[in-house]
Amino acid sequence: MSGLKIFLDTHPEDPVLETTNADVITRELAAIGVQFERWESPVTLSPDDAPEVILEAYKPYLDELMGAKGAGSADVLKLTPDNPNAPALRQKFLSEHVHTEDEIRFFVHGRGHFVMHLHGRVYDALCEAGDLIAVPANVKHWFDAGEKPFFTALRVFTDTSGWVAHFTGDDIASKFPVA
Ligand SMILES: [Fe+2]
């Protein structure tokens, strides 16, 4: 189930808020400019479906979202535990970083944590199938899908070059390991 834990960035042990209520997650994240929505799947998709099938199934949602965001492209990223690049991919986004464009993801299958850090707080959003999250440009964050990552996510880009990670050099992510 989707969830949100909010911590003071000085207190990793002790969340000040913990919820699995989608309305509360949406409201708390909206307060920091992070968009969170749940989408009903238009069809039942299998993790084995080809990227084109997944993109086509979500086309009505994507067209609306991309129109609203002025986004130019979308693709499908699948990660499974048997992918030999999984550890390297995990490591790549596990430290606090920013991008020069919004990071927009929709989870078709599986799960992953987007963890945002701002205003002295850490927001650990567990995203699951059916969840859309849009982390604004320049908001400090990291991503972790654990040691055995399993997810299929739609990625929406305004400019793929903007998706390069700029690391802040802060080791805060290591103090907030996701469950
Ligand atoms: Fe990122």
CA 62 / ligand 1 centre spacing (Å): 20
**Which of 1-10, 12-21, 151-160 comes out lowest in average pLDDT?**
151-160
Name the strand (E) or helix (H) holding 47: none
Beta strand extents in 12-170 (DSSP E only): 17-19, 35-38, 73-79, 97-98, 103-118, 121-128, 131-135, 140-144, 151-157, 166-167
Average pLDDT of the residues in 36-44: 84
CA 44 / ligand 1 centre spacing (Å): 28
- What local confidence, expressed as pLDDT, does residue 45 receive? 86
Does residue 161 have a pLDDT over 80?
no
Cβ atoms of residues 145 and 110 within 8 Å? yes
CA 140 / ligand 1 centre spacing (Å): 8
- What local confidence, expressed as pLDDT, does residue 67 receive? 87
pLDDT digits (tens, 9 = 90+) for 6-31: 999 999 999 999 999 999 999 999 99
Question: Residue 152 — pLDDT band, cuts 50, 70, 90?
Answer: very high
* Percent residues over pLDDT 70 in the chain: 99
CA 115 / ligand 1 centre spacing (Å): 9
Does residue 163 have a pLDDT over 80?
no
CA 48 / ligand 1 centre spacing (Å): 25
Average pLDDT of the residues in 127-147: 96
- Specify the higher pLDDT residue, 81 or 44: 81
Cβ atoms of residues 74 and 157 within 8 Å? yes
- The whole-model pTM stands at 0.93
CA 125 / ligand 1 centre spacing (Å): 13
- What local confidence, expressed as pLDDT, does residue 179 receive? 67
CA 103 / ligand 1 centre spacing (Å): 6
**Which of 7-11, 97-101, 156-160 comes out lowest in average pLDDT?**
156-160
Average pLDDT of the residues in 60-66: 89
